Structure 1
Amino acid sequence: MNQRQRQEFFATLRAQNPAPTTELNYTSPFELLIAVILSAQATDVGVNKATDKLYPVANTPEAIYQLGVDGLKQYIKTIGLFNSKAENVIKTCRQLIEQHNGEVPADRAALEALPGVGRKTANVVLNTVFKQPVMAVDTHIFRLSNRTGLAKGKTVRAVEDKLMKVVPAEFMLDAHHWLILHGRYVCTARKPKCEECCVTHLCDYFRDQTRRISHSA
């Protein structure tokens, strides 16, 4: 995919969804941070079901820290890896209280220093809350970027770096959300829904599939 095609790719996604955002429920930077920590190897739907019960009871670092690991587990036990996530969330709450006055830092290094927060989680928070033009590459974005030819790379970081270089500046702030949503609902892993896709005319995968069919006919 060349740069003219990338421009058209994102313009098309923007026309379909002018104001994309995360599907995680949150009302504060802290709530989003905890939701993203919980979302590792879990669905947004599953996380929302848990936090919809947790946040009315405790939605600040101080309140969740007071629950303790065992108390927190009761709210998130339906989520995969809930034992280790509960420990990380409690440690993160303590660190926010002790080092950041209970506030979520708008700094990558400080975010990545929090237990349970890696580069992807930090990027989600920096982009969604603090409106920084960064790219959080998950399995959906990694797959879609390689499959379509948007930004090919053998590792998540390679795809992230490539996207940061090739996504047109006017789309960078929302690109993360467009790509996740398109990968989650249209460019799915096992059987991409090409018949529902608005950017098939720009896609390497669709072009290759069409060529194979025509050759075999």
Structure 2
Amino acid sequence: MRFATSLAVFFFIYLQLINACDSDLFALQTKGTSGFVFTQYLLFSSDQGSAGTCALKCFRTASCLSFTFTGVKEPGNCRGHDQIMVHSDGKLPAAAARSFAFPYKGVWRMKSCMSVADCGPVTNVMCFRNLCVCTAAFPIYSESLNQCISDCPDSSLSSNFMLYLDAGIDYNNLGDLENTTEDECKAACVQSTSFTCRNVEWQDSNGLCHPQNVTARTSFDTENSAGWKFWQRHCQ
């Protein structure tokens, strides 16, 4: 009981700090993101009364790593994202908006890196194309465990994905969807009913989308996949 009380007090103070928006102890304000909302990697858009309640919603959502609060009373003033948003991500002007990231919550995932040491003290992770991602032997990110695992039951697959740049899996395409956007390609995978889609390959130049039901453990091609984005589904 004493521990639960202490935790409640800590989190109350944590939320007060967020509402004050003046401390790096509770969240890292992402450089260059004040005054914008982001259009990519959106998990939710909801109405919240303060930055503190917006932070709490993100904190309670397993795959939420960063959030933006616009500070105005309008629909969707709290936006949660499954990646740490940076100034180069798609964004729209919003004068009062400020974005925050949780520095300790799965922060290694999709983090920029020069070597695996930049990904932190986690196992089964590699620095691939300057992003921290799961290795081919443990290719699936578990949202509940915040670590890379070797496999995931079909019923536990998430609607979120991990990105591998210039990569793919040969000879396992179960469809050829043309002229799709990146989000449409991933949505087609999640909504597939004829087979369990575990990943997609998407080509930016022509919108070609290849749904697949295998993982990177099957055959991971990093030599002949320039211009392709490989998205591996998470496990819940």
Normalization by structure 2: what TM-score?
A: 0.27
Normalization by structure 1: what TM-score?
A: 0.29
Q: Answer 1 or 2: higher relative contact order, Cα 8 Å, separation at least 6.
A: 1
Q: Which has the higher helix share?
A: 1
